[in-house]
Amino acid sequence: MEIDKIDELKSFLNVLPPVGFCCVYGSSLHPNNSDKSSMVDFIIGVSDPKQWHSENMELNEDHYASWMVPLGGAKLITQVADKIGVGVHFNPFVTWNDKMLKYGVVRMHDLVQDVLHWERFYLSGRLQKPVHILVDNLDIGDVNSVNLRAAVSAALLLLPSKFTEEDLYSKICSLSYMGDLRMLFAEDKNKVKRIVEGQFGLFQSMYRPFLKEYEAKELLTFSLPNSHQANISQDCSLSMTHSLVHSLPPLVRRKMGMKQGEMQVLKDSGRVLHEVMIGSREEAAKSMQKIIRGTVMVSSARQAVSGFLTAGGVNATRYLANKVRKAWKSRT
């Protein structure tokens, strides 16, 4: 992203209370995007959302009506986000500097938990796709490497023995949409394809280090028919499947173990580990996919209800209408 654009986006943070983490994403950041009216999306991490929202109300009192729903204030916003939603409160249709913005505020602890464990598979899914980090006081970018490695493992489990690099990134991108209720009626049916094609180079910069690591271990084999992307072959043996499952977040492995059973493995250190029993690669892939789909389905439903309650009926309806319009456009 151009330095001028980065500085412009960073300047938005100057009118907000201090943040611990901030990244931007969305179609407006695609290198080939020509629609300057596209909404720019921010994810903002703070230590105490309730306190942050209260400070934001004081700082931006004149703009408060368009930025946040005053009914119930910071306490209601935080409670709804935590107890009904997935810990994130989004403010859509914020007008600033002749731009349309949407920003989501999340507790830093909740962000880290989702990135490491896929508890809600909401922001962790977003961070598996290209974002541009503006502020990172707690090294979330480094923590996210665990999330990216797990995403590669999950995608490889769902792919056949031979595939292209684009297939891999498309599968990674689709993980967080499996079970998402919005995909039924309120999302572009070609969304995954558009994201991957529009940001292919960014996906490569994110995931090539992990692919090279797998190649060095002779788990993946690359051939380069052209300079754009590679054809990839993977080892589909049971030992490789065990390795991929072992790279998934602990919570996912625990849920898989509850469905498929666990076995105790004694390590050289004397430590006893519980590992998922795997009868076949197909069985492991189906089990993992079912767990991810269920998590995403619940999270998407909870976040939709939370958004309606805290963003206000008008804003929520407007946002949904925009989504539905794009969805129907992609289907006609």
Q: What is the mean pLDDT of residues 54-73?
A: 65
Q: Determine the 3-state secondary structure of 106 from DSSP.
A: strand
**Residue 223 pLDDT grade (very low, low, confident, very high; cuts 50, 70, 90):** confident
Q: What is the pLDDT of residues 134-190, one digit of tens each?
A: 999 999 999 999 999 999 999 999 999 999 999 999 999 999 999 888 776 546 678
Sign (positive or negative) of CA dihedral 263, 267, 273, 277: negative
Q: What is the pLDDT of residues 4-21, one digit of tens each?
A: 788 888 999 999 999 999
C-alpha distances in angstroms, 263 versus 32, 253, 258, 260, 272? Answer: 50, 12, 11, 10, 10
| ∠ CA 75-77-80, rounded to 5° | 105
Indicate the domain borders of the chain.
1-330
Taking CB atoms within 8 Å and a gap of at least 24, the contacts of 92-95 are 92/39, 92/311, 92/315, 92/318, 92/319, 93/39, 93/66, 93/315, 93/318, 93/319, 94/66, 94/67, 95/66
